[in-house]
Chain A
Amino acid sequence: MPNKVPITITVNGRARSAEVEPRTLLVHFLRESLNLTGTKIGCDTSQCGACVVKMDGVTVKSCTAFAVQADGADVTTIEGLAQDGNLTAVQEAFWNNHGLQCGYCTAGMIMTVTEILERNANPSAEEVRAGLEGNMCRCTGYANIVKAALAAAAVQQGG
């Protein structure tokens, strides 16, 4: 049995240390070791985007990273967005615009939309759709997801 590797990952602002098998995926570490089950496993092959989290400031598919690769990194999951119970503008907009149907893709959608708006504060619907090319909604609820993203942009712009 290969040696376990000690890692420390800052998850949602809190340093979390553990010894993990090298083959442990980041998404497994988040869900099973830390019980942060908001991040989902969908396709398991880095196509669907249900597992998107932020790592060192950029979105990554946590099913396609070993936890050992995140050693020393700063990771934010869906659980880390709301501060003191206050939803972010993106979360609020998904709620207000019914930007979900079954909800399985929602965490990944919100993490990705958050990054889209960080990079482009006032995107067009087309730019939102391009930014979401790696996130799939198998309920095909894309219309309200795009609407939510545009609404969040408007709120953040003070509109």
Chain B
Amino acid sequence: MFAAEFEYRKAGSIAEAVQLLTDNPEARLLAGGHSLIPLMRFRLARPELVIDIGGIAGMRGISVSGDTINIGALTTHAEIAGSAEVQQANGLLAEAASGIGDPAVRNRGTIGGNLAHADPSSDWGTVLTALGATVSVQGPTGSRTIDVGSLIEDAFVTALAENELITTVSVPTLAANQRAEYAKMAHPASFYSVVGGAVVVTMDGNRCTAASVAVGGLTPRPVKASLVEAALSGTTLTQDSIADATARLSEDLAAAGVDIIGDLYASANYRAGVAPIEVKHALMHAIGLAHH
């Protein structure tokens, strides 16, 4: 399968990429290509100009500064999964990265490209929303910061302007009393998330003092589960209290006003039924309870 014909330009810098985007609003950015190339080959995307940002220096790499992990947008999933610094500062990031696709896909796919593509079945959207991550975005008039939870507005739709690109993803480190976990039902062929639940809990002994919960895969964008979070906060976490809290998820999904995705593999009803179970599994992992 061949993509439709397109013009190819290689951007040497972030500024050049922004200028090319400004001059060609219909152009698409190419990083690792693991979202864009399949779309182009199926001709679901037919950009006349493709701007390759894959070689821009300074957009790749990981650094930890204080309580923030800064990840260049061109950093691959494999680099995040294999980073000792990331494993130390926020183990969930490394774990989520290692669950994306397969090894060769992780060697090419980038965190920035994944977020900009905004596929509902992306793991990063859900995990980074729960972790309270932000992206730095560069446009013609400067840079701005967007919460990942606000960046992804709908399936394949982001808050990015036509001439903005993601340059850095910033993720808080986990404190010693915080636990973060992600549980997903993966599609058996693509390993994409059918339903995923990500949690961050702050613990005082067995008591949860604060919780951040997000679900994705079943919704066009990651959904923050504030009722589940409220039910967890101040609660001693046990199998029963976790089950009670996650039972609130259907209300969170209703309040978010989003459609539940259904397809031949998993119907909307089925996904909605699985979602609280994935959140429950993530929470039980977080507090060291086996769930099977």
Contacts and interface: CB of A to CB of B under 8 A. Distances in A.
Contacts of A69: 30, 33, 52, 54
B48 to A, nearest CB: 8
B8 A68 contact: yes
A81 interface: no
A2 B5 contact: yes
Contact of A60 (B2, B3, B104): B104
A21 B5 contact: yes
Contacts of B4: 23
A66 B107 contact: no
B7 interface: yes
Contacts of A79: none
B128 interface: no
Given A23-B2, A64-B33, A64-B38, A59 B52 contact: no
A49 B5 contact: no
Nearest to B50: A22
Given A64-B34, A69-B54, A3 B7 contact: yes
A134 interface: yes
A94 B191 CA distance: 27
B254 interface: no
A115 B10 CA distance: 29
A45 B42 CA distance: 9
22 contacts: A2-B7, A3-B7, A23-B2, A23-B5, A25-B2, A25-B37, A44-B41, A45-B38, A46-B38, A58-B78, A58-B104, A59-B103, A59-B107, A60-B107, A61-B104, A64-B38, A64-B108, A66-B37, A68-B8, A69-B54, A131-B103, A134-B102
Interface of B: 1-8, 10, 30, 33-34, 37-38, 40-41, 50, 52, 54, 78, 101-105, 107-108, 189-191
Given A3-B7, A61-B105, 12 more contacts: A2-B7, A23-B2, A23-B40, A46-B34, A46-B104, A58-B107, A61-B104, A64-B33, A66-B37, A133-B102, A134-B102, A135-B102
Please provide the 9 A-B residue pairs with the shortest distance between their CB atoms, ordered closest to farther.
A134-B102, A22-B8, A58-B107, A23-B3, A59-B104, A133-B102, A2-B7, A61-B104, A64-B37
